[in-house]
Amino acid sequence: MKKVIYLLAIVFLASCVDHMFDEPPGFVPEVVESNAMISDLLDQWVPESFTEITDELTFEGQVVANDESGNFYKQLVLQDETGGIQVRLDAIGLFNEFPLGRTVTVKCQGLYISDYNGLPQLSAVQGEAGDLSSIAIPEPLIPEYVFNSTTTEDVPANVVTIPGTQRSMVNTFVKYDNVQFTLGSTNKTLADAVNQFSVNLDVEDCSENQILVRTSGFASFASSVSPNGKGSIQGILSVFRDDYQLLLRDFSDINMEGSRCDGEEPIDTTNMNTGDPVDEVVEDFEKQVDNQDISIEEWLNVAVKGDRKWRAKEFDGNVYAQATAYNDSNPEMEAWLITPKIKFDAPMKLELRTAIAFHVHNGLTVWYSTNFDGSDVNGAEWNSLELKIAGSGAANYAWVDSGEVDLSAITGEAYIGFKYEGNATNGTTSFIIDDVKIVDK
């Protein structure tokens, strides 16, 4: 009985490799000649089975998706002019060596073309004949099958229509023009970043033909909100059983700023947090992406003056929210980070940590509003909250606890806002907040 076995010594070696994708100075890629196209590989694909590639089949393709944003995990998607294939690789940080557009050569002999609910994959297998299961190619074996190059070129998306989508386009980079999210899928986070669940949303054309857009809860843009305008969307065409799915590489794959099919003008939903009130707020910013603007479902991050917003920063494994006017090109900066609407039907308290860097001014204040509409900061009445905030006497990046701030005077529904004011001349202090808790006393 045939068994598929990987040597334990090789697998153990993988645990000792810190990062296999660092190219040494003067890196010269191994030249491997291709003798086939991706379509030749796909010709051997049989639904609901595993097919070993026994021929010396070697193809060359370009990377159209990698793991940089987290919407694709331990895989590359390669395509040539004849089709595309998902290649499963048991390694992370693949985008460092295999950026979008990179030409890659793959030796297929000894690998398997397998099926995942209708999706062709190139992978390894484990188990015994008759009881095989698909696995990603083990990290120490990747260099035996996947060969990099130094050639990187832009890959244009293939413009298609929803009714014109075909099976041959699966695992390729496609684009849909003149489409919009359905009304039931607008102003929705693309995925559940809190619980890290994937979410399907619907995109339609003006004849109401639809396709699913599926986003992983681990994607860096999972908490981004679907727009309600019309325009284009692009990504990798996938399939799950009988349903086509579009997988985004990044939020920038969506460009929908025009009027909808019915002529309605789009509403800027990025600056609104008008959802149902919550019972409490507990936020440590750990799911935010370093050096990206804070983006949390039902929170509002808005620049009232200038164009800088609150940003996520990471230091020593901890992620926090920071606002600063340092090196800002605008004469004034005013940025607000505002919580979801909170139900104050019992006495509550506020706790958080603050820190400063390179203090020259006091730029952070904390406020609450009971008449904020979720969008117009200047149109609301804001009341100041007194609490302990890091200031001139604090060391750089040293945390200062606010203590328990009594919010029992607030009743009904209200928002808490963190306001930063500064300028590039004499108001450049960086203010940092973390571990925000608004809970019952």
Find out whether 179 and 205 touch, Cβ atoms under 8 Å: yes
Spatial separation of the C-alpha atoms in residues 211 and 229, rounded to whole Å: 16
Q: Is the pLDDT of residue 140 over 70?
A: yes
- C-alpha pair distances (Å), 390 with each of 247, 402, 431: 43, 9, 8
Grade residue 280 by pLDDT with cuts at 50, 70 and 90: very high
Average pLDDT, the chain: 89
pLDDT for the residue numbered 268: 57
Q: Please give the structure tokens belonging to residue 394.
A: 């604090």
State the pTM of this model. Answer: 0.60
Instruction: Set out the domains of the chain in order of their start, with CATH numbers.
Output: 3-147 (2.40.50.140), 158-267 (2.40.50), 281-440 (2.60.120.200)
In this prediction, what percent of the chain has a pLDDT beyond 90? 72
Q: Please give the structure tokens belonging to residue 271.
A: 């600056």
pLDDT for the residue numbered 186: 86
Spatial separation of the C-alpha atoms in residues 199 and 215, rounded to whole Å: 6
Spatial separation of the C-alpha atoms in residues 421 and 424, rounded to whole Å: 11
Find out whether 433 and 354 touch, Cβ atoms under 8 Å: yes
Token match 């023009």: residue?
Answer: 177
Q: What is the pLDDT of residues 88-121, one digit of tens each?
A: 999 999 999 999 999 999 999 999 998 899 999 9
The amino acid at 441: K
Look at strands 383-385 and 364-369 and give their pairing. Answer: antiparallel
Spatial separation of the C-alpha atoms in residues 357 and 77, rounded to whole Å: 43
pLDDT for the residue numbered 49: 84
